[in-house]
Amino acid sequence: MRELIENYCDEYGIPEEDKKVFVDLWEKIDKDGETARKFEAAREILLAADNDSYDLYSPLLREIDSATGAHEYTTDMLIFLTCIDETRKRYEERGIDLSIWRDSMGDVAVKYRECLAVYGIPGIFTKGWHCRFFVPNRFWLGRMQYETWVWDKPYEFHGIKMGDTVIVCHIPSDGKPFDREARMASYKKAYEFYRDLFPDGKMAVCTSSWLLFEDHRKFLKGCPNIVSFLDDFEVIVPNRNYEDGHDLWRIFATPSGNVDLFPTDTALRRSYVEWLRAGNRPGGGFGAFFIDGPEFFAK
C-alpha cells in the first residue's frame, strides 16, 4: 500500500513533504491492528457502494483520526489513495480505456491542491465528492467530468421529464484551457462515451454551478471563457443569490467571507471584488443543453 501511495503522489505532482504525511499516516494505521481493521472496513464500504457512501464510512475515519491524531482532511484523502488499484481493475473489467482512469484519478490531486490553497492542510475537504470516481460512475473526459443522473426536477425540459437519464457535467479547477474548443472536444468525448444510453442520439447535458451565474455577463471583465460557457447552456433556474457567499472559496481560495481579505491578482478576482463591494451577492444557476447527434460538433 505504501508503494501505491508513493506512486500516486509522484505521478500527480504531490510534493515530497506531503507524500510523507500520507505515507506516515498509512504506516501509523497499519501498525495498530484495531485501527487497521477500521480503515479496511471503511475501504470495503466505499468500494462496495453503488454511489455515494461517505456518510456510511466516515464515522470509521473519524475514529481513526482520534487514534492517530491526523486531520480529518488528510484521512479523507488517504482512503482514496488506497483504492486506486481496485478502481483500475474495475475499469479493466468494464473495458474502459485506462487513460480515462488515469485522468479520473487525477481529481483527488486537484482537490488536494484546493485543500492546500484554502486551508493549508494536505488532504481534501470536499467530503464524499470523490466516491463516484471509485465506483466508478464519474469520469474525467477531456476538460470536464461527467456522470449519469436521473432527472428529478418537477418540470420538463424540452421533452426531458422526471425519471429520464441525463448527463451531468462538472468543471474541475485544474487550470487547463476552458475555451470553446476545449469544451467542445470534451462534450464530444462525453457523447461518444455515453451514446449507447441514448438510442435516439439525443443526449441532455446539465450542470448546477457558480459558472452559470447570468450576471457574469454584466460584470466579468477579461474572462471571456466563463461568459461563453453560459452560451453553451439554457439556464433553467437562474441567478440564485448565495446568501452565505457559497462557492466564493472556488474563486478566492480562502474560507473567509471578508471581501477585504480577498486577493485581486487575476481578472476574475478583481471583477468579483468590485461586484461584491458594490453590495451585490454571488450566485449560480442550473442549466442544460442537448447534443442532438454527431452533427452537433460540426456547427
Structure confidence by residue, pLDDT tens digits, 220-244 = 999 999 999 999 999 998 876 666 6
pLDDT for 47-96, tens place per residue? Answer: 998 778 999 999 999 999 999 999 999 999 999 999 999 999 999 999 99
pLDDT at 242: 67
Q: Give the sign of the dihedral formed by CA 127, CA 128, CA 133, CA 135.
A: positive
6: closest CA among 73, 76, 84?
Answer: 84
**Beta pairing partners, 157:** 160
Instruction: Please identify, in words, the CATH class of the domain defined by 142-299.
Output: alpha beta
Share of residues in the chain with pLDDT > 90 (%): 87
Q: What is residue 268's predicted lDDT score, i.e. its pLDDT?
A: 96
pLDDT at residue 206, rounded to an integer: 97
Give the start-to-end residue ranges of the domains of the chain: 1-138, 142-299
pLDDT interval class at 128 (50, 70, 90): confident
pLDDT of residue 299 exceeding 80, the answer is: no
Q: How many CB atoms lie within 10 A of CB 291?
A: 21
CA distances to 181, 188, 189, 214 from 185, in Å: 6, 5, 6, 24
Q: What per-residue confidence (pLDDT) applies to 175?
A: 85
Mean pLDDT of the chain: 94
Q: Distance (Å, rounded) from C-alpha 130 to C-alpha 132?
A: 6
Query: Is the dihedral angle over the CA atoms 194, 195, 198, 203 positive or is it negative?
Result: positive
At 243 the pLDDT is 65
pTM score = 0.94
